[in-house]
Structure 1
Amino acid sequence: MNAILYHGEPNGPSLAVLAAAFETGVQVALRRIDLAAGERHGGIPGAQAPELDYSVEGEGPVLVVDGVAMTDSVFLACYLDDVAGGAILRPADPYARWQVMAWCRWLVERVAPAAAYLGTAAMPPRTVPVGIANADLAERWEQAVTGRCDAALLADSRAKTAAGVTRVEAQLADGRDWLFGAIGLADFETYGWLCGMAPLAAEALVGRPRTAAWLARVKAHPSVARALALATVPEPEKVWAPGPEINRWG
């Protein structure tokens, strides 16, 4: 298998997939691209696929296996897990696996768009890249670059981030170390989107000691620490590119 992972700074979805690759031990060649500069568009040789242009994740990592491009960090992590045998990042039990996947869907639909919106509002990308096929993504780029942030969406994003932290806090209430059994996909995905929220939605973490301790444990976990060591900037958690579209149903 000839696998190349094109990733950004270890934050958000790139962090999740890097940690997943290291945790599973699947051998992938790493190629850093500047997601915040739009290098995913035209910066991946030979990768031509609708999934690349219309990824629901927005500007996330791309895994190219034998010339076939795949996107969306949850699915990339599942692919790596299956290549490695299928029960490293997700539980083997069918119901427990459903719980993990349901959690990840909630995370991508609710928390990820909020985190990306807050992140690009705080540190806007410099220019809109050329070659964006997805009109919705192009609009999000334009809004981020020009600083046209909607006050209501900022408030909504802070509220959704706080709701996400509340759910993490509740999940850890029984004293467990990780979100579902052993550390895995849910931890990597959730950490990737929440680790940069302290300066952007600080109130969300107030009075959440279990979440704070969990964040520290995930950060120190070997596969996550290895991913973070790939950073080319002092604070990779502050580097953002447009993420998933904010859902329109509340």
Structure 2
Amino acid sequence: MSALLYHGEPNGASLTVLAALAETGLDIECRRIDLLAGERHSLPGIVDPVALDLSIEGEGPVLVIDGEAMTESVFLAQYLDEAAGGVGLQPTDAYARWEMMMWCRQITERLSPAAALLGNLATSQSAIAAIPAEDFAILAARIVSDDLRERWQALNDDAVNAAQVADSETKVAAAVDRCEKQLGDGREWLMGTFSIADLVTYSWLAGMEPLRPAAFADAPLVKAWLARTAARPCVQAALARATISEPLRAWAPGPEINRWG
């Protein structure tokens, strides 16, 4: 079996999958790509636009197994866990697994678009806006998804939607509050035992703490959980793949902001 994981710096969706891979111990080649250069949209040998470009995560990682490309970080983490024979990243109980997946859906549909927007405005917009017009036109032409191309264009135009910023800040604060309540019974991990829910939540939330510290001011349980998660060997291994000093500040255009609130 040939296996290759294309990923960005260990933050957001790429961090989820890199940490899951480290937890499983699977021997899969990892190849970092420059997301801000649009490299995800011209991966060698991958021509299927659905597999390559229509991921709802935006610039998420791509796992290629025997020539077949797969996307979406939660599903990739599940695949890796199951391919390794089950290393505990998913509950075995059917209800507990449903509960974990519902949690992950909340994170990927509400927190991740908000975090990506705020992260991009804080750390990536200037770099994308600085791309010369001719080069940006070539980059944008490779992006099949209209929604994702629009997010790239807004960053290139240095456009800021104040209503989206405010909505994103509210969603980050809501995610922190939800985690604080979940941890309120004394559990160490969001689902009771360490799981994909911890990985995906940490991957999108950790980078928000330095950007929106007020959201974490009254969340001591969340802060302690962030520290525990950061100390996990699999997360440490994922972060060690960074090529920059602050990988949690590495953002690329992400999921579409939910239109239904």
TM range (shorter): over 0.9
CA drift of 1:87 comes to 5.5
Query: Does residue 46 of the first structure (1) align with residue 57 of the second (2)?
Result: no
What does the per-residue CA deviation read over 1:127-163, in whole Å, with 9 as the maximum and x for residues that have no partner?
A: 4424011111000001122221101110100000000
The answer to whether the 8 A contact 1:86-1:92 is kept is no
The answer to whether the 8 A contact 2:23-2:87 is kept is no
For residue 162 of structure 1, what is the amino acid of its counterpart?
A
Q: Distance in 2 between matches of 1:143 and 1:80?
A: 34
Give the secondary structure class of the aligned counterpart of 2:207: coil
Q: Which residue of 2 aligns with 1:177?
A: 188
Q: Which residue of 1 aligns with 2:239?
A: 228
Among 123, 141, 162, the alignment partner of 2:152 is 141
Structure 1 unmatched runs, 5+: none
The answer to whether the 8 A contact 2:24-2:87 is kept is no
Q: Distance in 2 between matches of 1:53 and 1:94?
A: 32
Give the secondary structure class of the aligned counterpart of 1:41: helix
What does the per-residue CA deviation read over 1:140-192, in whole Å, with 9 as the maximum and x for residues that have no partner?
A: 00112222110111010000000001011111101111111321200010000
Q: Distance in 2 between matches of 1:104 and 1:86?
A: 18
The answer to whether the 8 A contact 1:48-1:69 is kept is no
1:26-45 aligned within 5 A: 26-42=26-42, 44-45=43-44
Q: Which residue of 2 aligns with 1:197?
A: 208
Give the secondary structure class of the aligned counterpart of 1:196: helix
Q: Distance in 1 between matches of 2:158 and 2:174?
A: 25
CA drift of 1:47 comes to 1.6
Q: Distance in 2 between matches of 1:72 and 1:222?
A: 23
Give the secondary structure class of the aligned counterpart of 1:143: helix
Question: RMSD of the TM alignment (CA)?
Answer: 1.1
Q: Which residue of 2 aligns with 1:100?
A: 100
Q: Distance in 2 between matches of 1:181 and 1:6?
A: 31
Q: Distance in 2 between matches of 1:138 and 1:192?
A: 23
Q: Distance in 1 between matches of 2:15 and 2:156?
A: 23
Query: Does residue 245 of the first structure (1) align with residue 244 of the second (2)?
Result: no
TM-score (norm 2): 0.93
1:7-86 aligned within 5 A: 7-42=7-42, 44-49=43-48, 50-86=50-86
For residue 180 of structure 1, what is the amino acid of its counterpart?
M
Structure 1 runs, 4 residues or longer, greater than 4 Å off: none
Q: Distance in 1 between matches of 2:258 and 2:159?
A: 18
Q: Distance in 1 between matches of 2:252 and 2:31?
A: 17
Q: Distance in 1 between matches of 2:13 and 2:63?
A: 12
The answer to whether the 8 A contact 1:118-1:157 is kept is yes
**Structure with more of its chain in helix, by fraction:** 2
Q: Distance in 2 between matches of 1:47 and 1:198?
A: 36
Q: Which residue of 1 aligns with 2:112?
A: 112
Q: Single out whichever of 86-95 and 158-167 deviates more from structure 2.
A: 86-95
For residue 157 of structure 1, what is the amino acid of its counterpart?
S
Query: Does residue 151 of the first structure (1) align with residue 162 of the second (2)?
Result: yes
Give the secondary structure class of the aligned counterpart of 2:208: coil
Q: Distance in 1 between matches of 2:203 and 2:259?
A: 23
Give the secondary structure class of the aligned counterpart of 1:5: strand
For residue 52 of structure 2, what is the amino acid of its counterpart?
L
Give percent identity, aligned residues only. 57
